[in-house]
Amino acid sequence: MYLIFEPNSHARQILTRLKLISGNTNWNAAANLVLMTDWIEDVQALVDIFHIFNTMGVRNMALMQTNRHRNISTALVSNYRGTVGVAREGSPHYPLLVRDRNRNVDRHLLVIEKKILFPFLIYSNGGVGGIFYFFFDTFAKHVNARTKYDMSNIDFLLGVQSSGTLTSPVLAVGGFTGNCLIVPQKPKPGMISFLLSPFSASLWYLCGCIVGFGFVLNYRWSRQFPHNILLTMLFGRQATSDQRYLSIERRVIFSAVVVMFFLCEAYSAMLLSKFVQSLNEPQLKTLRQFVESGITLELMEYVPDELNEELRQNVLVSDHDTYITNVRNGRNAIVMNCGNAKLLVHEIINMKQDKFPARYYILQEFVGWRMNGLRVSKFSAVGLQLQQFVGRIAQAGLWDYWAAMYDKRMERLLQHSSNQRVMLHLVDLVSLNYLLLVGYGFSVCVFILECAAMRFVCMTP
């Protein structure tokens, strides 16, 4: 219990006194506090005093005042819900204090940090949502308070990192999260590189040797192989009705067709697999690959302790406008909370493709881990009740229930985004037809050149 004698009961002096007392390490906001003052005529002064104690986190407070000239004494108390009660009947101040509920400390305002933290706190056109929204809304009804989301005079900070001296205690709500790297997608390889990717270099050398061997047989031993082996493999029988294939020629063509069949089937399967895989698989998977790629990591605020040592080598710190412009254009990689990263990549960018023309993907390796939770201001009037309420919510399983609601929502977004990348749309089919057109066009060109060469030979005397 704290006992304070303050005859000159000005609110500013009481606040200064409380700041000095609360600066000690053994300060206990949950303890009982009794303030003894002279008689206070102004009701607003009483309201200010109760507001001061509420702001400093004092939950059980009693104000005792005495009028020595009129021989009147009274006591007013503040219970754990922030309402004002009277300990002695007949107090002349009590009816004035409870006349307007908004003037006394009832309906205390709980200020929550305004911050997007999916799935804990989300802001949209429909209002506020998220796990912490349900939690604070339920808690406010429990303690008969009001909630407000703001950036100043905050009672509750989101996240458990860097608690600081003005936030105590730190409350964990279960589960872990971390920071994720969001990397812009690189342009796909060129047409020639994509067409050559299914086979290794040694296998392409083998195919070239087989084709060259066919040309050598036709032009070196033209009597044994009068018909073009390559054209026969591609377009079928080349002989006229009065010409027949020799037995050795048929054996060689049969062997070549068998080899070509297996190579073509393997090439088609690998090419289609590479094509579909390129729609859904990111190019980088680990932090080491990201560092070796040389992609710049852009930040608005550089905090070395929050980044791995290897990520500090290529960091660009930009102002807010430059940062937003670069994010929209996909110039550099960015880092943010993994929940916000999923929300940005799978919902915001997909829904607003006109504002975000660049495509992004999330690196599979996390930058760091931390526990989910919140921090309570040292001088919060409801800190003790909040600690107890967090335990009740955990015992009731509401943390898991609220989290499951947004997990299902993210799964639907991921499934929708994945289906868009795996299923072949009209643009993808045009790309595949373009590949087939290039292949068959090359074959037609070879056929035309071969026919022209044969006609030229026939016309030569």
Among candidates 375, 376, 391, which has minimal Cα distance to 59?
Answer: 376
Amino acid at residue number 372:
N
CA–CA separation, 365 vs 306, rounded Å?
A: 15
pLDDT score at 188:
61
Confidence tier at 274 by pLDDT (50, 70, 90): confident
CA–CA separation, 201 vs 341, rounded Å?
A: 39
Mean pLDDT of 244-272: 77
Tokens of 210: 């087989």
- CB-neighbour burial class of residue 122 (10 A; exposed 0-12, middle 13-18, buried 19+): buried
SS3 at position 382: coil
Cα Dmax for the chain: 142
Among candidates 126, 113, 275, 253, which has minimal Cα distance to 198?
Answer: 275
In the beta sheet, which residues pair with residue 34?
3, 62
pLDDT in tens, 358-385: 888 888 888 877 778 888 877 676 777 7
pLDDT score at 101:
40
Helix intervals (H) in 281-382: 287-293, 320-329, 338-343, 349-351
CA–CA separation, 439 vs 443, rounded Å?
A: 7
Amino acid at residue number 159:
G
Could you give the C-alpha distances from 189 to 100, 331, 337, 363, 420, in angstroms and in order?
71, 18, 31, 20, 21
On the CB side of 173, CA atoms within 13 Å amount to 25
Tokens of 17: 């006194």
Q: What is the helix (H) or strand (E) element at residue 334, kind and residue range?
A: strand 334-337
CA–CA separation, 83 vs 277, rounded Å?
A: 63
On the CB side of 78, CA atoms within 13 Å amount to 31
pLDDT score at 114:
87
Instruction: Give the chain's length.
Output: 461
pLDDT in tens, 164-206: 555 656 677 767 778 888 888 876 666 667 677 777 888 888 8
Phi, psi of 422 (to 5 degrees): -90, -40
Amino acid at residue number 57:
G
Mean pLDDT of 286-290: 84
Helices 131-143 and 383-396: angle between axes, nearest 10 degrees: 120
Mean pLDDT of 204-232: 75
Is pLDDT of 82 > 50? no
CA–CA separation, 394 vs 374, rounded Å?
A: 14
Phi, psi of 380 (to 5 degrees): -70, 140
- CB-neighbour burial class of residue 157 (10 A; exposed 0-12, middle 13-18, buried 19+): buried
Mean pLDDT of 47-66: 73
pLDDT in tens, 136-145: 999 888 877 8
pLDDT score at 103:
41
Phi, psi of 123 (to 5 degrees): -115, 130
Cβ-based neighbour number of residue 288 at 10 Å: 11
Among candidates 159, 153, 166, which has minimal Cα distance to 108?
Answer: 153
pLDDT score at 104:
41
